[in-house]
Amino acid sequence: MNVQRLKAIARKEFIHVLRDPRALGVSLALPLVLLLLFGYALTLDVDRVPLLVWDQSQTAESRDLIGRFEGSRYFQLRGHVDRGDQIDEAMDRGDAMMGLVIPNDFGRRVASDRATAVQVLADGSDANTATLAMGYAEAIVRSYSQERLVEKSRRMSGQTPKAALDLRARAWFNTDMESRIFIVPGLIAVIVMLISAVLTSLTVAREWEVGTMEQLISTPVRGPELILGKLAPYFALGVTDLVLSVLAGRYLFDVPLRGSLWLLTAVSLVYLVGALALGILISTLAKRQLLASQMAFTITFLPAFLLSGFMFDIGNMPRALQVFTYLVPARYYIAILRGLYLKGTGLAALWPECLSLVLFSVATLGLAIATFRKRLE
C-alpha cells in the first residue's frame, strides 16, 4: 500500500466534502436533530394518564380515594361524569384512557368495614400502556384498602398491627426510573450507524454516476488505497458526530457516564469504522446513489432500531428473530453503551460484545476492500 496515493485519495475526498457546505452542515447537525427528536419524543414512561371518574357515592370515603388518584403523578384527572356511557364516549374520542367507577354504596360499606368493589376501565388499544396504568391503579386501590384495614385493627385492638413482611424496593443503576437514561445511550448507536453508513454509501456510487471512476481506474491507485482514502474524511465527521452525541447526552439529557471514558472511546471508534465500511460496501455493490442510500437506510436503521434491543427486548422476540439479531452490530454496541453509562461495567464484563464489534469491523472493512474491483463492468 502506497501512503502517498492513500493521502491523495483522502485529500480529494476531503476537498469534495468541504466544497459542499450544505451536506457538511447536515452531516453535523442531523445527529443532534435526531438525538433531540428521539430523546424527547421517545419515552417509555407512563404518567399523566387521562382519567375520568364516575363517583356515584359522593362521600368523604370516595373523595379520599379519588384524591389519591389525583395526587399521583401517574394519573391526570380530566373530570367527573354522571353516566357510564360518557366514559365510553371519551375513550372513543381519545379524551380519556381510563375510567374510575365508584358504586353508590361505596361510602356506606367502607364506613362499616365491609368489603366493596370499585371498577377501573382502561382503553386497551395500547396494551403496554394500559397494563402499566392498570397496575398503578391497582397499587393505589391496594394502598387505600390496606390503610382501612390498619385503621380497623387499631380501633379493635388499640394497637397498630405490624406487617409480616417489610418490602424495601431499590432500583439500581436508574434510581428515578427515567426512560431517557435507558434510551439515550441506545440512540447514540442508532444515529452513528445511520449517519455513517448513509454518508459513505454515496462515495463510490457517486464516482460511477458522474463518470470519474474511469479516471481513478486509469491511475496507479489500488483498491485498498481507494477505500481507506475515501473513509478518512467521513471518519473525521463520524468522530465529530460521536463527540456531539456524547456531549448532548451528558449535558442536555443529564445521562451520566459511570464507566470508563477510554473504553467508550475505543469501542465507539471500532463501531464507527465498521459502520463506515458497511456504507462503502453498500456503495460498491449498488453503483447508484439512490439505490445505495435506500439500501443503507434499510440495512442500518431498521435493524438497529428494531432488532438491537434498543426499543424492544430481544428475549421477547420470536426465536428466529433472536438468532438474526446476532448479525446486528448495534446489538453489541448498545449493550456496551448501557453497561458503561448505566452500570459502570468494565472490559471484564463487556469483552464478548467488544470482541464481536472488532470482528464486525474487520470483516466489513475486509469485504468492502475485497468487493471493489478496479475495472469497468
pLDDT tens for 52-72 read 999 999 998 889 999 999 988
> CB neighbours of 24 closer than 8 A, spacing ≥ 6?
17, 18, 237
**What are the chain's domains?**
3-43+178-371 (no CATH), 49-157 (3.40.1710.10)
Grid cell digits, residue 208: 460511477
Q: pTM for this one?
A: 0.80
pLDDT tens-digit readout, 319-350: 999 999 999 999 999 999 999 998 888 899 99
Burial of 375 (0-12, 13-18, 19+ CB in 10 A): exposed
Dist CA 120 CA 114 (whole Å): 20
Summarize the confidence of residues 206-234 as an average pLDDT: 75
* More reliable by pLDDT, 89 or 176: 89
- pLDDT, position 364: 92
Whole-number percent of the chain with pLDDT over 70? 94
pLDDT at 214 exceeding the cut of 70:
no
Q: What is the CA radius of gyration of the chain?
A: 29
pLDDT at 302 exceeding the cut of 90:
no
Three-class secondary structure assignment of 2-38: CHHHHHHHHHHHHHHHHCCHHHHHHHHHHHHHHHHHH
DSSP string over 306-330: HSSSSSS-GGGS-HHHHHHGGG-HH
- pLDDT, position 66: 92
Q: Are strands 119-122 and 98-102 parallel, antiparallel or unpaired?
A: antiparallel
Summarize the confidence of residues 265-279 as an average pLDDT: 92
* More reliable by pLDDT, 208 or 4: 4
Angle among Cα 79, 83, 87 to the nearest 5 degrees reads 55
